[in-house]
Structure 1
């Protein structure tokens, strides 16, 4: 299903995204995953961009517009977020299920290989998929995330995750989302409005976040033993990846430590890193300078942001 909507036109460039959906399956039934598609739909060179825990694929509008000259760019709303369905069984809001959805999405794209840009949760999904035998992922950019997550940051996220919020106006919702994401960097009011508006929807005269608040249930239920097993699996996945991996860290990140980045470089095969000054978790990749980091990694030296 393809929909082209004026609401999806952006000021980031002349490229216009297409709103699409793919049907996926879980033990709890069928659900739809929404995604925006940029660039030539026949281009076999595909970049998949996957967002953070409570965000949406529209976080990548500027980056996708920039890359659409070289790539077909796919920006999904992970199930339970954005325009995607909510799951009938909230226990399936976890990385293994998200990986399965992305396998279905890539099959829909009818390509053998993709490159992957993953922010926070989107990076964990990419890491899990890239470490599987026969993985379709070539180059992998991990935006401020790695196998080890600092416990204080995980607690900070858990303190607000899943709490029902209601706003009288769209601007109130935009401002609250900006407060939660202030470590993204010193963004302008226009930039906050650009990336936060898609997170909100109006119902009966009030504004609400689009994500399913039940995504917080499996997050809150994680025990120390489960967390340790998950971290071990992610380190194993990193070691299995043969393609290039770029770890981007925000200088002030409380989720991804420098020590973890150093360990990733030491234990991975082709892992390099970049640290972005003045930002925390996670760099927003709205500026030409940050987009240029991604273009040089995926496209090559001299590939400045367009």
Structure 2
């Protein structure tokens, strides 16, 4: 894993319909290619795509979104707005603000769910899509595990303490990680406060709607089907408890243009910086470039 030492982006902001100031990073790239809209997972922020963006910036423009309640984006007054349809409205507002007509979406977990919804609500505007460890069916075991830790606040005196705490909670998803890897993960997921404590970089209230019954009730198969004809890539962690092999196989069966990569020794979700992911992303972007 690589940690960015020098920023190669500009910070941008936009406004949600309910008046929240939201943040994104804009990595420069050519204007004759569709930009890549990067959508992180439930508890993630713009740093989740730092390695991907650092590698691709210059060859492609990347716009990395920070959803409400994460990182530098404002926290919502109403915790019940922390739901996929509101996140979708927020992203649509950014798309309108930036005047994006044709674009690629890279989405991890929740971000992949939004990628499917963006395709369904705007036919023809996606030039390509990457779905990272997410599909139309969410496994109960994975949802239960995530619900067990999302929204539980904590603080740590050092980055090593934060890294070890993350390893205790998420170790089963990354069994081959060493302390160095967990330190990288901690610096992605956490921030240093003015008091010198290290805390998770999201509003703990995002867990409130996620814990309600029926969270996985939305039928996303039609949204997935809207990607038919779009060059796409499905990435699944071999140890994933959120996306099953059965669901992944059915997704690929329904979408002939969808490539499929299983990342060994990783659960939910791959970082997309694993060597097989890098190669698969390059193949996807090559397919997209040849199609435009």
Same fold (TM over 0.5): yes
Instruction: Show the counterpart of 1:266.
Output: 253
How far apart are residue 136 of structure 1 and its match?
A: 2.8
Contact 1:57-1:82 within 8 A present in 2 as well: yes
| Higher normalized contact order (CA 8 Å, seq sep 6+, divided by chain length) | 2
How far apart are residue 108 of structure 1 and its match?
A: 2.5
Per the alignment, in what secondary structure is the counterpart of residue 100 of structure 2? coil
How far apart are residue 288 of structure 1 and its match?
A: 3.7
Correspondence 1:277 to 2:268: no
Correspondence 1:117 to 2:109: no
Report the Cα distance in structure 2 between the residues aligned to 1:251 and 1:122, rounded to whole angstroms.
Answer: 19
Report the Cα distance in structure 1 between the residues aligned to 2:209 and 2:103, rounded to whole angstroms.
Answer: 29
Specify which of 4, 20, 25 is matched with residue 10 of structure 1: 4
Report the Cα distance in structure 1 between the residues aligned to 2:174 and 2:90, rounded to whole angstroms.
Answer: 27
Specify which of 226, 238, 243 is matched with residue 240 of structure 1: 226
Report the Cα distance in structure 2 between the residues aligned to 1:35 and 1:169, rounded to whole angstroms.
Answer: 27
Specify which of 178, 189, 193 is matched with residue 202 of structure 1: 193
How far apart are residue 236 of structure 1 and its match?
A: 1.1
CA gap 1:83/1:208 in 2 versus in 1, 3 angstroms: same
How far apart are residue 179 of structure 1 and its match?
A: 3.9
How far apart are residue 190 of structure 1 and its match?
A: 4.0
Per the alignment, in what secondary structure is the counterpart of residue 73 of structure 2? coil
Comparing 173-182 and 204-213, the one that deviates more = 173-182
Deviations 1:173-205 (A, max 9, x none): 233234434324634544433343242231434
**Superposition map of 1:9-88 within 5 A:** 10-11=4-5, 16-26=8-18, 30-40=19-29, 42=31, 44-88=33-77
CA gap 1:41/1:271 in 2 versus in 1, 3 angstroms: closer
How far apart are residue 148 of structure 1 and its match?
A: 0.4
Deviations 1:88-133 (A, max 9, x none): 1010101111111111112232231110111111111111111114
Q: Count the aligned residue pairs.
A: 284
User: Structure 2, unaligned stretches of length 5 or more?
Assistant: none
Per the alignment, in what secondary structure is the counterpart of residue 101 of structure 1? helix
Per the alignment, in what secondary structure is the counterpart of residue 293 of structure 1? helix
Contact 2:263-2:276 within 8 A present in 1 as well: no
Instruction: Show the counterpart of 2:182.
Output: 192
Report the Cα distance in structure 2 between the residues aligned to 1:67 and 1:272, rounded to whole angstroms.
Answer: 20
Report the Cα distance in structure 1 between the residues aligned to 2:35 and 2:168, rounded to whole angstroms.
Answer: 33
Task: Tell me how large the CA RMSD over aligned residues is.
Answer: 2.4
Contact 1:37-1:72 within 8 A present in 2 as well: yes
Comparing 109-118 and 169-178, the one that deviates more = 169-178
Report the TM-score when normalising by structure 1: 0.84
CA gap 1:187/1:107 in 2 versus in 1, 3 angstroms: farther
Per the alignment, in what secondary structure is the counterpart of residue 299 of structure 1? helix
Report the Cα distance in structure 2 between the residues aligned to 1:51 and 1:250, rounded to whole angstroms.
Answer: 16
Contact 2:45-2:67 within 8 A present in 1 as well: yes
Report the Cα distance in structure 2 between the residues aligned to 1:294 and 1:180, rounded to whole angstroms.
Answer: 29
How far apart are residue 44 of structure 1 and its match?
A: 5.0
How far apart are residue 270 of structure 1 and its match?
A: 3.1
User: Structure 1, unaligned stretches of length 5 or more?
Assistant: 1-8
Comparing 40-49 and 104-113, the one that deviates more = 40-49
